[in-house]
Amino acid sequence: MLKRKRLGGRPQVTFVLPADTLEGPVSVVGDFNHRNPAAHPLEPQGDGTRAAKVSLPAHSSHSFRYLAAGNYWFDDDHADHHDGTNNRIHT
């Protein structure tokens, strides 16, 4: 799930995984973090979900996917668009 808000006039996107989504570490990997899995790991939240917050430029489009342990890549059903390989988010 994607949550969006403005922080100081800049879009902030929170990438959220439900509590029942895969065990083990998961990161959001995209063009906004140079596809670096260590840049935005999803951290446990008090409600059992895991989340990572990313500030992005306004009026831009970005590709991303989630990477779990064992080199398992998966998509976000709530992305703005899917281009066949990646999820897309528009700010």
pLDDT band at residue 34 under the 50/70/90 scheme: very high
Q: What is the 3-state secondary structure (H, E, C) of the chain?
A: CEEEEEECCEEEEEEEECCCCCCCCEEEEEHHHCCCCCCCECEECCCCCEEEEEECCCCCEEEEEEEECCCEEECCCCCCEECCCCEEEEC
Res 79 pLDDT > 90: yes
pLDDT, the chain, mean: 94
**Domain covering 2-82 assigned CATH 2.60.40.10 in the classification:** yes
Break the chain into its structural domains and give their ranges: 2-82
Res 46 pLDDT > 90: yes
pLDDT digits (tens, 9 = 90+) for 9-33: 889 999 999 988 888 999 999 999 9
**pTM summary value:** 0.91
